[in-house]
Structures are given as C-alpha cells and as structure tokens.
Amino acid sequence: MTTTPNGPGAALPGRPPVVDLATWQAARDRLLVREKAHTRAGDALAAARRRLPMVEFDGTVVVVGADGPVPFLDLFQGRDELVVYKHMWYDGAPHQGQCEGCTTTAWHVKDAVYLHARGVSFAFLTTGRWEEVASYVEFMGYTQPWYSVRDVDAPVGGDMGYLTCFLRDADRVFLTYATTGRGNEPANGSLALLDLTPYGRGEAWEDNPEGWPEGRDACWYWRSDADGTATWGPASRPVPQWTRPGATPVETLGRIGHHH
C-alpha cells in the first residue's frame, strides 16, 4: 500500500466480512462495551497523573525565541499551566532532514486556542541554534512560539521528543509530567483516526485479520516523495513539507546515518 488512492476497480487487499445492518450493529454494540471500559481506564490514568508530585526549578533560566533571550517564565504568557513539546534537532541539516516523528506532533499542534481557553499555554522547545530554528519555523509556517534551549539543563532542556507539563505559582515554576514515545500520541489526532479505520496505521506491529495488507515498519508513511509515495528514500521529506511553498524534490535527507 502507498499513501495514494487505489485506482478504479482495484481489488481490495483483504476486507471485513459483509453482513446486514442488524448484524453489524450487534457486533458494534459488543465492541462499544470494551471501548467504554478503555475510556474509563484512561480517565483513571488521568486522575493518577493529577496526583503526581512535582519538582521545582529555576523559572528564570534563559531560553531564546523570536524576541531574543527570555526567562522560561515568559512561556506561560501569564497563564498558570504550560504544555511544551521538545522537538528533536539535527544541527546543520536542511529542512527535509529534520525529525519526521517530531514533525507529526508539531504539525498537529499548530493552534492552541482551546488550550488557551482553559488557561494553558503551549510552546515548542528544541536544542537547535535559534538561527536555524527560526528559518525552519518560517518554512513550515508554524505560528506557535518556538524557543531554543541549547545548553539548557533539564527539565527545560535535556532530552528531546517529550511532551512535558509545567505549573506556575506566581514566580515559582514546577515540572509536573513528561512522556515520550507513544505517550506523545494524544497530540496526533491522525493516529487516533487511523485506528478507527479497517486498515489502521499499516504498521507491522498491528494485530490484523488474515489476508490484510502486510504491515511495514512503524511510521513508514511519515515521509513521502514528490509524488506522494511513502518512502524513506533520499528524495523524501516529512509529509507536511510538501504543502509548503518552495518544497522542491530533494536528493538527500541531509544528515548521515539516518535510517529506520
């Protein structure tokens, strides 16, 4: 399978059994019981997160953004809570060589108005040099605030690829939660929607019925070439980049040793 639609009349590579509506509804209702239990389990986990302890740190530590060096406290924008995504960075790499996994998160969190309405600010942090980061942010068309945390210690800096939450009490700042890997998936609505479809994410680890398309390495469709074909080849970019003005075909991923 590619990311492009099948041609007219193409046979599906495996499909669910065909039944009448009443039979489908009965099966759907049985699954709904499990879905509700899954939702309640998620609610219980969220309740446990709210009961985690927290770590105080120096909120005056300096990060660098579009307005130059600012204290980390400024990222709260006067609100009490802050969520950040720590975007990985490859020094000196062209835009197409930056992290496709982090791109999926950044692209899905281009607007934080609903977070703002709940009193929560959002920002991106990365270890890249601000000069490189600013160029990348402009190319991608991102409007969320970005900051360089190069040479800044954890929990503001440190390892990238994390969703991290902070709480502010006047001028005191606290780390409350951090997650990475598949823990970042709540930011990516496309994954949740794919999980609702018959063919899912198309990844090798998924449990599929007999005859389904053979899964591929995780996240194989996060990069594509100019024709929209999912590929990790030398002419690929993170998928959203093809929507950006001036995103021409490329000849290299831009960094050595990249593979999945």
Kindly give the confidence (pLDDT) of every residue in the chain, 260 residues in length, as a single tens digit, with 9 standing for 90 and above. Answer: 444 555 555 678 899 999 999 999 999 999 999 999 999 999 999 999 999 999 999 999 999 999 999 999 999 999 999 999 999 999 999 999 999 999 999 999 999 999 999 999 999 999 999 999 999 999 999 999 999 999 999 999 999 999 999 999 999 999 999 999 999 999 999 999 999 999 999 999 999 999 999 999 989 999 999 999 999 888 899 999 999 998 888 877 776 444 43
* Contact of 93 with 255, CB cutoff 8 Å: yes
Helix, strand and coil in the chain, % to nearest 5: 30, 20, 50
> What domains are there in the chain, each with its CATH number?
55-182 (3.40.30.10)
The per-residue b/e assignment along 62-85, b for 16 or more CB within 10 angstroms, e otherwise, is ebbbeeeeeebbbbbeeeebbbbb
Alpha-carbon distances of 218 from 107, 181, 182, 201, 202, rounded to whole Å: 18, 12, 11, 8, 8
End-to-end CA distance of the chain: 18
Distances (CA, A) of 108 to 33, 120, 178, 190: 29, 17, 18, 8
